[in-house]
Structure 1
Amino acid sequence: MVEWLRGFYASSGARALADTMFGWSGKLLVALLILLVGWWFARRMSAGLQRMLLRGGADPLLGNFLRNLAFVLLLALVVVGALDRAGVPTASLLAALGAAGLAIGLALQGSLSNLAAGVLLMAFRPFRVGDSIEVGAISGVVQSVSLMQTFLLTGDNREVILPNAKVAGDVIVNVNARGTRRVDLAVGIGHDADVGRAIDLLREVAAADARVLAQPATEAAVVQLAESGVQLALRAWTRSGDYGGVQSDLLRTIKQRFDAEGVALARPSREVVLREVVPAEPR
């Protein structure tokens, strides 16, 4: 029996089978090693990318998303390399994966556009949580920004959920970006009123409000001679958070000071001319 086994192994067929099995085992061992080292490398690289983004001030949600995305992409490359080293044809696999990715992308086109817009919003930060913004005809305070949607809270306590693609593709007005805002008030006085005194009163009212900033300086001037009166403008700067209160208080105080000083506000006026119509004498 032993002599037969020796003779069988010594034959060319047995030697070829043994060489083939040894070759396959070697390839599988190398492929497994590539998978293990590649998995470790992808994990370390993706974690390093997240730490770098967080140190740079990126949003934690964006950092976590990019870490997972980098890990999946690197791991996919490692798997393809391991399969190729094991002798598995990868050309057809890559073609199938590409076709599947294209089909998924077309099916999720709207969602992917929102996802891409969310990544851009978190990366470039045109606004932050707590900012008061206007997007198209919608205004509110930013409550949170996710990868797919932006959540706003309106002044009347309604929550508005906007797709990120709409936010990124529309005009964004960030009210809090600069920290200060200019209060523009239009005040009309009668034609007979003292324009110089009215302008002085506007400046005094603005200077008396502690929320009005000294710089930039407050401006008060005549802007128009209208049919109903003389149009004045008051431009005063304040902090963004005080804008609404300053605007309301200045208007109320201006009305009180004008009444106390006898400065008449503009009123629409019409001149009516009555003419006596003499009837024609009969012929």
Structure 2
Amino acid sequence: MHDFLDNLLGTTLSDGVIRAGLNLLVALLILLVGTWLAARLANFSQRALRRAAVDVTLSGFLRNLIYGVLVAVLIVMALTKAGVPSAPLVAALGAGGLAIGLALQGSLSNLAWGVLLVVFRPFRIGDYVTAGGTEGTVQSINLMHTLLILPDNREAILPNAKIGSDVIVNFNRLGTRRFELKLGIGHRDEADQVMGTIMCLLEADDRVLKDPAPGVWIESLAGQTVNLVLRGWTRSADGWAVQTDLLRAIKQQIDAGRISIPVIPMDIRWTAEPPPSTVSGRG
């Protein structure tokens, strides 16, 4: 009888070990195969979103979100299959999430603003923006930070919370930009003639849009100069080149004598003062 109980107990223990081992093996297979399938499903959804002409940033964010959710579900399934009770597991995950949330308040703020930037898209990759007090071209938008390339080819990594709490200026969103240049001419110059010369320069440049029409106006009358302001519209990509080329053309007109720039005289006076007197003390 004693031998029979020992054999029965040994058989039960061995069955339990085998069953536990099989469950652990199944849990590992769930993780391995499930992770592979989750990656393929996430990549497939990203390709489908791109074919649907969804923004690159948004499609990448949704791909990572789908993959993360699927992996979290797989982990819970694997742990449950391995014999871990689900109720304590959920409680542990909740407590851990609360502790992590309290410890990473700043990071969670960046994460929240990253989601909002991806969803509402105030700017896209390739846009030239002013964000968080920094001006540059958007290189990438991540959940925690945004990477800008500055005009001198430096990289600026901005926390998303800083971007979301500040003014965002997008120079490319509408496709066109207005430029403005100012010029001071002499009082003896014919203002209409000078303005006509500048208008010819504006109209001769095909990059300056005809609608809205460019223009030249007298802005103010100063003591030594008549101040002109000229404005025009270009495509966003042509703005800087048009301004520099227009300034070069105006300088050529100045060299040709068609426009004169008054030289404001400087009144420099030299006043000779006697050196300070020294007072000699008695020893």
Cα 1:158/1:211, change in 2 over 3 Å: same
Equivalent residues of 2:131, 2:166 under 8 A apart: yes
SS of residue in 1 equivalent to 2:143: coil
- C-alpha deviations, 1:215-250, integer Å up to 9, x for none? 210111111112231111110111111111111111
Mapped to 1, the partners of 2:47 and 2:237 lie a distance apart of 34
Equivalent residues of 1:50, 1:67 under 8 A apart: no
| Post-superposition offset of 1:213 | 1.5
Q: Which residue of 1 aligns with 2:66?
A: 67
| Post-superposition offset of 1:58 | 4.4
| Post-superposition offset of 1:146 | 2.1
Mapped to 2, the partners of 1:58 and 1:243 lie a distance apart of 25
Q: TM-score, normalised by structure 1?
A: 0.69
Q: Which residue of 2 aligns with 1:6?
A: none
Q: Which residue of 2 aligns with 1:221?
A: 217
Aligned-residue sequence identity (percent) comes to: 47
Q: How many pairs does the alignment contain? A: 242
Indicate yes or no: 2:185 matched with 1:189: yes
Q: Which residue of 2 aligns with 1:241?
A: 237
Equivalent residues of 1:129, 1:145 under 8 A apart: yes
Mapped to 1, the partners of 2:132 and 2:85 lie a distance apart of 52
Mapped to 2, the partners of 1:155 and 1:89 lie a distance apart of 56
Equivalent residues of 1:180, 1:240 under 8 A apart: yes
SS of residue in 1 equivalent to 2:256: helix
Q: Which residue of 2 aligns with 1:278?
A: none
Task: Return the match for 2:136 from 112, 136, 140.
Answer: 140
Cα root mean square deviation, aligned: 3.9
Matching of residues 271-282 of structure 1 within 5 Å: none
| Post-superposition offset of 1:110 | 2.1
Equivalent residues of 1:179, 1:239 under 8 A apart: yes
Cα 1:53/1:74, change in 2 over 3 Å: farther
Which is further off, 71-80 or 213-222? 71-80
Cα 1:235/1:205, change in 2 over 3 Å: same
Equivalent residues of 1:189, 1:231 under 8 A apart: yes
Mapped to 1, the partners of 2:102 and 2:50 lie a distance apart of 32
| Post-superposition offset of 1:136 | 3.8
Mapped to 2, the partners of 1:200 and 1:262 lie a distance apart of 11
Gaps (5+ residues) in structure 1? Answer: 2-31, 273-283
Q: TM-score, normalised by structure 2?
A: 0.69
Cα 1:128/1:258, change in 2 over 3 Å: same
Mapped to 1, the partners of 2:73 and 2:47 lie a distance apart of 17
Cα 1:81/1:52, change in 2 over 3 Å: farther
| Post-superposition offset of 1:95 | 4.0
Equivalent residues of 2:132, 2:162 under 8 A apart: no
Cα 1:72/1:134, change in 2 over 3 Å: same
| Post-superposition offset of 1:100 | 1.7
Mapped to 2, the partners of 1:50 and 1:80 lie a distance apart of 29
Equivalent residues of 1:54, 1:63 under 8 A apart: no
Which is further off, 160-169 or 93-102? 93-102
Q: Which residue of 2 aligns with 1:202?
A: 198
Gaps (5+ residues) in structure 2? Answer: 2-25, 269-283
Matching of residues 106-145 of structure 1 within 5 Å: 106-145=102-141
Which is further off, 114-123 or 177-186? 114-123
Equivalent residues of 2:175, 2:235 under 8 A apart: yes
Equivalent residues of 1:202, 1:220 under 8 A apart: yes
Which is further off, 173-182 or 143-152? 143-152
Equivalent residues of 1:198, 1:258 under 8 A apart: no
- The one-letter code of the counterpart of 2:249 is T
